[in-house]
Amino acid sequence: MKKRYGTKAIHSGEHPEWFNQAVTGDISPSTTYVIPNAKSLEGWDGYIYSRISNPTRKSLEEKIASLDDCESAVALSSGMAAVSVGLMSCLSAGDMIVAQNSLYGGTYDLVVNVLPKFGVKTLFVPKEKLYDLSWAPKEAKVAYIETPSNPTLGITDIRATCTAAHGRDMLVVADNSFATSYLQKPASLGVDLVVYSATKFMAGHSDCLAGAITGRNDLVEKAYRLMTQFGSPLDPFSCFLLARGLKTLELRMNKAQSTAMEIARFLANHPKVARVFYPGLWNSPERELALTQMKGWGGMVTFEMKGGFEGASALFDNLQLIFRAGSLGGIESCISIPVLMSHHHLDEAALKEADITSGMLRLSVGIEDNSDLIEDLTQALDKVK
């Protein structure tokens, strides 16, 4: 019987026989494991050291791979660990990344300020240029996308990017953190490696720092080996928290995106709001594309105030219920100012290319009552001059 997403989230990767028939898998904190005898080391495939493998992590990785409809997964210590390991496992000195010009600020910092020290360059382009890569330099080995993008929620055509990249023998790496595997399955659309900040919607409770990589066995194996050398596996307790969070992801995302749509409509009709970025709005230029690769619109809403930074900061400061916080994807709603927080690494030119303005606010919608959230936004907007 083929299991649906919510069922897989609860049952996949669960092995009661590993944990004394416990319904909830144990947290295995041991760093090392007993070897029965010298002869057993010949062809040994059991546990030996937790940086390499751990039963709590293995159970989680099976669950993540199942939810992504991928062959393999590896769980890492943060989203940036996943992005770093995922990219570096595909690249060598002299290679180039071709990336869309709207990315998370931490990823931008990595590819602009860190990877060049190892001989890897990055060329930023409008996402539409990824749909025909006949122009790409011969050293281009990876096309990197993020869809929906942070913070403007731009939608990149995954199929078109993969077709173009594979035609040039390039790999495609996609950040699927905002959509999660519940709303979008990049591997089924051709993506070679999928990376996640699992801290966000996947874990969902703002108490677990985690990352994940999914994809084909051969590519995930390369990422896994690099992860063990970098020493960035996810610790057992965080594995437990992430596995628990995944079990309610479908429920949380459904609530968050339902409220997000209401908030987006409310903001789109407010006289003090200049622009609203939400792919589910009827006037969104990317709504039709999103419909071809997503099963929902997600729990993020970004908007720009007419008063620029002064207006954005006034709304930010006057919220009473919504948290002023830099992360996202938790059960509580959080708001941030991208130019000062998630994207403070970008210079003015890069911000302009990514269409990120000083009057922009990024709202991560939680699972509070939708009316309470709209009331909080209303009273804060009333105080904006």
97 and 224, same domain (yes or no): yes
266 and 238, same domain (yes or no): no
Give residue 35's domain range. 5-246
Residue found under tokens 């026989």: 17
Compute the distance between CA of residue 251 and CA of residue 242 in angstroms, rounded to an integer: 15
Q: What is the pTM of this model?
A: 0.95
pLDDT digits (tens, 9 = 90+) for 195-224: 999 999 999 999 999 999 999 999 999 999
54 and 185, same domain (yes or no): yes
Question: What three-state secondary structure class fits 382?
Answer: helix
Confidence check: pLDDT of 25 > 80: no
Domain edge (last residue) among 246, 270, 302: 246
pLDDT digits (tens, 9 = 90+) for 317-336: 999 999 999 999 999 999 99
Q: Is 33 a catalytic residue?
A: no
172 and 113, same domain (yes or no): yes
Which of the residues 141, 200, 222, 252 is marked catalytic?
A: 200
Contact between residue 359 and residue 375 where contact means Cβ atoms under 8 Å apart: no
Compute the distance between CA of residue 138 and CA of residue 168 in angstroms, rounded to an integer: 9
Peptide bond into 151 cis (omega under 30): yes
Query: What share of the chain has pLDDT > 90, as a percent?
Result: 87
217 and 192, same domain (yes or no): yes
| Amino acid 248: pLDDT | 98
| 296-318 average pLDDT score | 97
Q: Is 51 a catalytic residue?
A: yes
Confidence check: pLDDT of 20 > 90: no
Q: Is 224 a catalytic residue?
A: no
229 and 316, same domain (yes or no): no
Positive or negative CA dihedral for 220, 66, 152, 361?
Answer: negative
Confidence check: pLDDT of 172 > 80: yes
Which of the residues 58, 104, 141, 192 is marked catalytic?
A: 104
Positive or negative CA dihedral for 262, 264, 266, 268?
Answer: negative
Q: For residue 68, what is the domain's CATH number?
A: 3.40.640.10
Q: Is 104 a catalytic residue?
A: yes
Kindly indicate the confidence band of residue 182, based on its pLDDT and cuts at 50, 70 and 90: very high
Give the chain's mean pLDDT.
96
In Å, the largest CA–CA distance within the chain is 77
Quote the number of domains for the chain.
2
100 and 160, same domain (yes or no): yes
228 and 332, same domain (yes or no): no
Can you read off the two tokens belonging to residue 134? 């006949």
17 and 146, same domain (yes or no): yes
Positive or negative CA dihedral for 175, 235, 72, 93?
Answer: positive
Residue found under tokens 């909080």: 376
Which of the residues 95, 157, 175, 235 is marked catalytic?
A: 175
Can you read off the two tokens belonging to residue 32? 């090392």
| Amino acid 61: pLDDT | 98
Q: For residue 308, what is the domain's CATH number?
A: 3.90.1150.10
102 and 181, same domain (yes or no): yes
Domain edge (last residue) among 216, 246, 276: 246
Q: What does the DSSP assignment read for 238-290?
A: HHHHHHHHHTTHHHHHHHHHHHHHHHHHHHHT-TTEEEEE-TTSTT-TTHHHH
Kindly indicate the confidence band of residue 123, based on its pLDDT and cuts at 50, 70 and 90: very high
